[in-house]
A and B are shown apart, each in its own frame.
Chain A
Amino acid sequence: MVDALPSVDTIWEWLECVPDPEIPVVSVVDIGVVRDVAREGGKTIVSITPTYSGCPATSVISFEIEKELRSRGLQDFELRRKLSPAWTSDWISQAALAKLEAYGIAPPSAAGGPSRCPRCQSQDLERISQFGSTPCKAQWRCRACLEPFDYFKCI
């Protein structure tokens, strides 16, 4: 019996099943931390970039990816850290931006702040803190519904 090596596209599909450990509604591919899947001989190389240098989710992400690939039967692979180009919130996919908002996290915006409240869509907003519950988020509040919410920082 010959075990055919899964295609690079198949591996991308598998990786799309790995949720972000801190925002489980989006995958590690959606959030843009998986930069590349390539082959070196029979070995699969997955390049991963951290969102923030100190983000504790980075090691969890590597662990989850490794677990996923092993559970699919892939043996010969390597996860490589890729620092450059540095991660940017521009790499979050369009579909993921909508998922973030539905989850209650305002997606990043080039204007430097959320465009509307993820709950009631009001544009009457105020910043509470430039930082939030994780390195990638800031704290904002809606003046209409009075709810605080996370805003995904634009970097």
Chain B
Amino acid sequence: MQQDALFEYLLRLGDNTLVLGHRVSEWCGHAPALEEDIALANVALDLIGQTQLWLGLAGEVEGTGRSADYLAMLRDVWDFRNVLLVEQPNGDFGQTIMRQFLFDLWHVLVLDALQASSNTQVAEIAEKALKEARYHLERSSDTVIGLGDGTVESHDRMQAALDLLWPYIGEFFEPDAIDLAAQENGVGPDLSRLEAAYREQLDRVLKQACLTAPTDFFAHKGGKTGFRHSEHLGHLLTQMQWLQRAYPGASW
């Protein structure tokens, strides 16, 4: 795989976990129960840890000396390659959990496939991250079921969250030149095959959660290509990056 295409591919993996990890960490100290607060902070920590591995490798592949920290803290919004789903605001707790579930389901499938990557370093990071992602999925799917099949109030909120986030699923599976290059070189998986597995597992959980999947298949796109992020990412970055922007090179 061409070096620049591999770099882009790794940015996607690292930016997804970085942006979602930051989003989830916004709950720290604000979750509806202490146990949930701890759980969300731990999920965020795993995701940030995975980010260090992906962006660390991206920096190595790029070969210009940019570190994981540099890539995370000093790139601008148009250089980010995360899918639009992960930059969406937290909303209420139900919306956060629904976003997490929709991501975790994809994350487990993609990491599982990446374990067989022709790139050994990619395969090793995937093997490590998969164990954590499986644990996240267990929790987020259980919570989606618990809240969806809960009270009228919790059910309605979960349905609203699903309706809101539904148009962001499609971007995962819409292959572009980078995805196809990864697939051709055995670095990344065939996204259409992943989608079939995703939709099947999604249906199963939604049924248990007494939630109805929208029938519209319109998909928002532009996150992973960096073509058009939503307005939310810029706001997130001003908070996440302010220290390095205000005090360049600061460390402890």
Contacts and interface: CB of A to CB of B under 8 A. Distances in A.
Interface size class of B (residues with CB under 8 A): 20 to 34
Contacts of B53: 53, 83
B42 A135 contact: yes
Secondary structure class of chain B's binding surface, majority of residues: helix
B128 A86 contact: yes
Interface stretch (A1-9, A13-21, A123-131): A123-131
A56 B125 CA distance: 17
A135 B131 CA distance: 12
Nearest to A127: B35
A54 interface: yes
A69 B47 CA distance: 32
Given A53-B129, A83-B124, A84-B123, A128 B46 contact: no
Contacts of B52: 53-54
A52 B131 CA distance: 9
A104 B27 CA distance: 29
Interface in B157-210: none
Contacts of B131: 86, 88, 155
A153 B46 CA distance: 14
A109 interface: no
Interface in A126-147: 128-133, 135, 139
Interface of A: 50, 52-56, 83-88, 128-133, 135, 139, 153, 155
21 contacts: A52-B45, A52-B49, A52-B132, A53-B49, A53-B128, A54-B45, A54-B48, A54-B50, A56-B45, A83-B53, A84-B127, A86-B131, A88-B131, A128-B35, A129-B35, A129-B36, A129-B38, A131-B38, A131-B42, A139-B35, A139-B38
Interface of B: 35-36, 38-39, 41-43, 45-50, 52-53, 123-125, 127-132, 135, 138-139
